[in-house]
Amino acid sequence: MQAPAAVPAQAQDAATRLRITPVVLAGGAGTRLWPLSREHFPKQLIDLVGPDSLLQATVRRMQGFSGKHPVDATAIIVCGDEHRFVTAEQLQAGGMQGRLVVEPARRNTAPALTLAASLAQADGSDAILVVMPADHAIPDTGAFHRALALAAGHAEQGAIVTLGVPPTRPDTGYGYIKLGDVMPDGVRHMERFVEKPALELAAQYVASGNYWWNSGIFVVRASVWLRAIEALHPAIHEMCVAAAAEGEQDGQFFRPCPRQFLLSPSDSIDYAVMERLDCGDAPCRGVVVPLEAGWSDLGSWDAVWDAMDKDTAGNAARGRVVFEGAHSSYVHSDGRLVACVGTSNIVVVETADAVLVVDRSHVQDVKDVVARMKIQHAPEADAHRKVRRPWGFYDSIEHGDRFQVKRIVVQPGARLSLQLHHHRAEHWVVVSGTALVVRGDEKFLLSENQSTFIPLGVLHRLENPGKLPLEIIEVQSGGYLGEDDIVRVDDTYGRCA
């Protein structure tokens, strides 16, 4: 019998090096989930449906996956510059590892994935990328892992694999995938991607049985993605590969070259590649693996309601909520008691500085309200009353004409920037912990119930030298109290520029 042909050493080495690398796309804004999700603290950082934030749940979802190839313990996480510190903090709090890629600006998902693919190949090896948006709910992790194992096998052979969700109802909030022929393992050839349809067309899609929801989860080798984006959208490939090559490590963050990255067109994975895989220039094929794991894209309050446990009347709630004669409603309370009496099919979301009340049939329109608030320069469109910083957080608990009161919490070992203000003075009272204060040429300690005054125009810094959180009350007074009245002279977190 003739001996089997020997596998070339190069191919053996490539197969040995092939691994699975999770890639989490965490750069979204989530305006349809206002007022919980805001520009400075978007939905992926919020614990919408469980104890973990959506980001933490996405990274944790890969734990325990076993298959043909090893899984990198360190995920590649692409996020925005304004969210890098809280993203790193959440990973640390969850006991997770991540390589944080900080985008200089939003350019949608295709450039984000191209950055990740470039970095995954930086050591000369290849990887099967499991690309996951950071804002999904998938309760059945076992079913998710089984779908991934099937998808990884096809990705290894050079396909771009998308996980398609067999629809349970017509839904205008999702894109759809038209299915092609069935393969022996139940995987389908991908015929085409279609945009979010009107309700009547969505009903036709579901009734035909030939369309699945587009989950937005992709499985593809890094090299395959780079060849596809180069062939189908060369401008994204050129700019993003160059941005990755010329990027720099900044502590725990990788910063792509801004000059190159900002020249990249903005486009989604769907538009840039998936919708064009049936054209003659496409260097690879698309396949669809079914995902039946309770998947939900938490893109609206109705999707959050759908993902929650409900009472016998179809109501779901988080926080201090009372229902009386209410039906099919969702209520979230951040603090105050919310009572719903005789209501039906509504969403109520209460936060410290804003309350949303919306009919469930109009939840997609919340983004339009946020857009209007941005035009009106309403601060509630962008930030919560409680604002997170790399050193801790502050909460603006009261304000009026020429004064503002903040509660400031500084984590152990952390410190604020050395700074001054042109338009305000500050009074600090220590509530708990120990404060190390720099004020001009002075440097001194304050303990509980002690206070100090920072005159207008004087350089100052607040630091927590202790092992417990430092909490102070800050009273600002002056003609202008905006956050842009900060001149940073020195900053541990690189925010002076």
In a domain, 8, yes or no: no
Domain boundary among 355, 375, 395: 375
Distance from C-alpha of 266 to C-alpha of 108, rounded to nearest angstrom: 6
In a domain, 3, yes or no: no
Give the CATH number of the domain where residue 209 resides: 3.90.550.10
Please tell me whether residues 121 and 197 are part of one structural domain. yes
The count of domains in the chain is 3
Helix 222-232 to helix 109-120 angle (10° resolution) is: 130
pTM of this prediction exceeds 0.85: yes
Please tell me whether residues 237 and 352 are part of one structural domain. no
Domain boundary among 245, 277, 297: 297
43, 298 contact by CB (below 8 A): yes
Take residue 274 and report the two structure tokens written for it: 């998936």
Distance from C-alpha of 36 to C-alpha of 50, rounded to nearest angstrom: 15
* Residues contacting residue 433 through CB under 8 Å, at least 6 positions apart: 410, 448, 464, 466, 468, 469, 470, 471
pLDDT at 280 (0 to 100): 65
Please tell me whether residues 236 and 366 are part of one structural domain. no
Please tell me whether residues 195 and 262 are part of one structural domain. yes
Please tell me whether residues 273 and 417 are part of one structural domain. no
In a domain, 416, yes or no: yes
In a domain, 327, yes or no: yes
Distance from C-alpha of 72 to C-alpha of 75, rounded to nearest angstrom: 7
The secondary structure of residue 363, as a DSSP letter, is G
Please tell me whether residues 239 and 312 are part of one structural domain. no
Label residue 363 exposed, middle or buried (CB < 10 Å: 0-12, 13-18, 19+): buried
Please tell me whether residues 333 and 411 are part of one structural domain. no
Take residue 211 and report the two structure tokens written for it: 């369309």
Distance from C-alpha of 132 to C-alpha of 318, rounded to nearest angstrom: 26
Please tell me whether residues 371 and 473 are part of one structural domain. no
DSSP states of 24-61: EEE----GGGTTTSBTTB-GGGS-SSSSS-HHHHHHHT
Take residue 200 and report the two structure tokens written for it: 């009547």
Nearest to 174 by CA among 254, 291, 48: 291
Take residue 469 and report the two structure tokens written for it: 């959180």
Please tell me whether residues 371 and 468 are part of one structural domain. no
Distance from C-alpha of 59 to C-alpha of 45, rounded to nearest angstrom: 12
Nearest to 176 by CA among 148, 146, 206, 135: 206
State the DSSP H helix or E strand holding residue 213, giving kind and residue range, or none if neither. strand 211-221
Which residues lie across from 213 on neighbouring strands? 165, 176
Nearest to 263 by CA among 291, 240, 234, 280: 240
pLDDT at 3 (0 to 100): 37
Distances (CA, A) of 355 to 270, 299, 331, 335, 382: 34, 19, 11, 12, 15
Longest dimension (CA), the chain: 93
Please tell me whether residues 44 and 131 are part of one structural domain. yes
Domain boundary among 250, 277, 297: 297
- Print pLDDT tens along the chain (497 aa): 333 333 344 444 444 468 999 999 998 778 899 999 998 899 999 999 989 999 999 999 999 998 788 898 899 999 999 899 999 999 999 999 999 999 999 999 999 999 999 999 987 889 999 999 999 999 999 999 999 999 999 999 999 999 999 999 998 888 899 999 999 898 999 998 888 888 999 999 999 999 999 999 999 999 999 999 999 999 999 999 999 999 999 888 999 999 999 999 999 999 999 988 876 677 888 999 999 999 998 989 999 999 999 999 999 999 999 999 999 999 999 999 999 999 999 999 999 999 999 999 999 899 999 999 999 999 999 999 999 999 999 999 999 999 999 999 999 999 999 999 999 999 999 999 999 999 999 999 999 999 999 999 999 999 999 999 999 999 999 999 988 899 999 999 888 65
Distance from C-alpha of 211 to C-alpha of 178, rounded to nearest angstrom: 5
Domain boundaries, position 212: 15-297
Please tell me whether residues 369 and 259 are part of one structural domain. no
Give the CATH number of the domain where residue 471 resides: 2.60.120.10
Residue with tokens 């409900």: 310
In a domain, 73, yes or no: yes
In a domain, 370, yes or no: yes
Residue 322 three-state SS: strand
- The amino acid occupying position 226 is L
Distance from C-alpha of 225 to C-alpha of 110, rounded to nearest angstrom: 10
Q: Which alpha helices (H) appear in 50-162, and where do they start and end?
A: 54-60, 84-93, 109-120, 141-156
In a domain, 5, yes or no: no
Please tell me whether residues 291 and 307 are part of one structural domain. no
Take residue 376 and report the two structure tokens written for it: 């009106």
pLDDT at 494 (0 to 100): 82
Take residue 353 and report the two structure tokens written for it: 């500085």
